[in-house]
Structure 1
C-alpha cells in the first residue's frame, strides 16, 4: 500500500443480534435504528464516504404478518436506503446471527448459503463477511461462496479502555480470502459506558488514522447502529468529526477511504 487506508464497517442486525439473549430491554434501542441509519447515511453521502454494511440475511425477508413488532426483526427498507446511497457496500453478517463457534460446518455453510441466496434475489453480490459477535470460525467456507474478505478479531476488543494508539494492520490472506481485522469498536453510551468522556472515541480514532497514514496500513473502525441509540446526538457528532478529519486527510492525498471489498480488490489483484 502506498498510503494509509481508513475502513468503516457497520453490523446491521436489528433484534437478531440479541435473539439468543434477553432482547426485551433492547427493543426501545432497536426501534431507533432506522433513524440512526438515516442520519449516518446523510453524513456518509455528504462527504462521499464509502462504508461496508454487514447485514443479517433475515432482514431481507418479509414477515408473514406485517406489524410494528416485525419492524424490529425485518429491514428490507433499511437495506434499500443503503443501496440508494452512493459508495455503500452491502456485506454479509450471516443469515440469522448465530455464533459460528457454536456451529457445525454444515450449519455454518447453511447460514452462508442462505445469505448469499437471499442477497442475490435482491440484486446484491456479497463479497465481504463479518462473523456474528466477531467470533471467527469455519472461515474456510467463505471462498467457496465468492467472498473475498472478512473482518478478523480486534487485537484488543475493548480498545477504547486501553491507553495508547489503536492497532493498524497490513491485511493478510487467510482461508484464501483477505483478513481485515478490526482496529477499534466504537462503543455505545449505554449503561456504565455513559461515563466515557465526550470526544474520547473521536480522539482515539484520530490516533489510529494518523498511525495508519504514517505506517501505510489499515485502520478499521466498526460499530452497530444500535450503539448510537443512547446519547445519539453526541455520538453522531463524534462520528461526523471523524469523517471530516478522514476526508481532510484524503483531500491531502495522505489517506484512502475504502470498503472491505475495495481493500480486497486492491490487495488480492
Structure 2
C-alpha cells in the first residue's frame, strides 16, 4: 500500500490508570464525563470512518466485584512500592462501579465499525517497577485474555504497556499470550525509559508539542519489521495532550502541530500514530470534542488530497505482513 497511514490508539483506563496518583481524591464528575465522551468519540469515529485501537484495562471488563475477583490472577504484582498495586488500592478503598467497571462501554467499542479492542493489561501493570516478575506479568495477560474471551468472545491482539513502561525482556511473553502487535514509544531519547522522569525529559516532551525538537514523528513503513519471537512494535508519533482551560494559545499551537505532522505524513506516505487517554477529554469535554472533530476534518482533507487511510494497530500489522 503506497498511502500515508493515520493510526489512533487510546489508553482506556478510567480510575485504574491514575489511582496511584490521585487515590480517592478524584472528582466523580470527571469519570461521568469520560463515560459519555467514549460514546461521543465512537460516534465521531464511525461518522468519519476512523479505525482505532482501544487498549482497555482488563478490570474494566468485569460487571461487578464478583467477576473482578473471579478473573484476577493467582499471582499479582509484588511491587516494592505497594501503592502501585491496583489490588492494594482496592483492598484499602473498595470498588465503585462508575470508575472501576465498564462492560457496556466495551460492548459499544466492539459494536462500532473499525474499532479494535486491545489490552492495557489486566491491572494496569508496570513492567519496569521493582518487585514484579515475568510470571506475574504473564498471568496478568492471561487474565485479560480469559475475561475478554468469556464475556465478549474476543481474543485480544494489540497491547499497550501502561505508562509506556516497555520491558523489552517481556516482549516474547506478549507474543506467547497472543499479542501480535505492541505500541512502542517515539524514537526520540526523551521518550525512552519513561519510568525515570527527570526534568530534561519532561521539558523536551512538552516543548515538542509546540515545535520540533527531535526526529520527525511520522515514519516510513519500511521501518516496520517483525522480529522472531517478538510482536510487531508500532511506534507512537504524538500524544494528544489535554485541553488547557486557561491558555487558548497553548491549545491552538499544539493542535496545529498535530495537523502539520499529519500533513507531512500524508505527503511522504508515512505512518502517523496519534494516541491519548479518553479521560483526558474530561478536562474540557466540549472543547475537546471540537478539537477531535477538527482533526477528523483534517484527516478527510488528507484522505481526499493525498489518499491517506485510517488503520487500527491490527490493520497496521496486516499491512506489514502482506
Q: How many residues align?
A: 268
**Alpha-carbon deviation of 1:226?**
0.7
Which is helix-richer, 1 or 2?
2
Q: What is residue 301 of structure 2 aligned with on the other side? A: 248
Q: CA deviation at 1:72?
A: 0.5
The alpha-carbon deviation at position 160 of structure 1 amounts to: 5.3
TM-score scaled by structure 1?
0.91
Alignment CA distance shift 1:159-1:221 (3 Å): farther
Runs of 4+ more than 2 Å apart: 19-28, 64-69, 154-161, 169-176, 193-202, 251-254
Normalised TM-score (structure 2): 0.77
In the alignment, structure 2 segments of 5+ residues that lack a partner are 68-93, 192-203
My pick for the range that moved more, 157-166 or 78-87, is: 157-166
Relative distance call for 1:3 and 1:129 in structure 2 (3 A) is same
Contact 2:138 2:177 (8 Å CA) reproduced: no
* Aligned residue in 1 for 2:99: 72
Q: Where do residues 45-194 of structure 1 align in structure 2 (5 Å cutoff)?
A: 45-64=46-65, 69-102=96-129, 103-121=132-150, 122-137=152-167, 138-154=170-186, 155=188, 156-157=190-191, 159=205, 161-162=207-208, 163-164=211-212, 167-169=217-219, 170-174=223-227, 176-189=230-243
State the match for 1:227 in structure 2. 280
Distance across 2 between alignment mates of 1:161 and 1:65: 45
- CA deviation vs aligned residue, 1:32-76 (integer Å, no higher than 9, x gap): 211111111111111111111001011111213899932110000
Contact 1:9–1:220, Cα closer than 8 Å, also in 2: yes
Which stretch has the larger CA shift, 152-161 or 132-141? 152-161
CA distance in 1, matches of 2:253, 2:216: 13
Deviations 1:118-172 (A, max 9, x none): 1111211211110011111111211112222110012355755321285112433
Q: How far apart are 1:97 and its partner, in Å?
A: 0.2
How many angstroms apart in 2 are the aligned matches of 1:99 and 1:27?
25
Q: CA RMSD in A?
A: 2.4
* Higher radius of gyration, 1 or 2: 2
Per-residue CA deviation, residues 74-110 of structure 1 (Å, 9 max, x unaligned), is: 0001101111111111001000102111231111111
- 2:243–2:287 contact (8 Å) kept in structure 1: no
Which runs of no fewer than 5 residues in structure 1 stay unpaired? none
C-alpha deviation, 1:8, in angstroms: 0.5
Check whether the contact 1:5–1:212 (CA below 8 A) recurs between aligned residues: yes
